[in-house]
Amino acid sequence: MRKLFSVWAIFLAIGGAYLFAQDNQRIPQQPKSQFFIENKGQWDSQVQYLARLGGLNLWVTNSGVVYDYY
């Protein structure tokens, strides 16, 4: 009798887990923000673009590239 009860308990546990399982729904991701931000007067006139990366600002200027670590 205990063996039969154990078998039924296992089937119920597996069946219950299957009934409450959820599908992994994929959430559409927003398009990544623009990598380079164009200077439209918000910075010095020598700056053309800014790229912000984790702990790093990459400034593209008229005379070259400037890395700003923080």
Tens of pLDDT along 4-36? Answer: 777 777 766 776 666 666 666 777 766 555 689
Question: In the prediction, which pLDDT does 49 show?
Answer: 95
Q: Categorize the per-residue pLDDT at 53 as very low, low, confident or very high, splitting at 50, 70 and 90.
A: confident
Can you give the residue ranges of every domain in the chain? 35-70
Mean pLDDT score of the chain:
80
Give this prediction's pTM.
0.51
> Which two tokens mark 17?
């887990």
DSSP symbols for 13-56:
HHHHHHHH----PPPPPPPPPPSEEE-SSSS-TTEEEEEEETTE
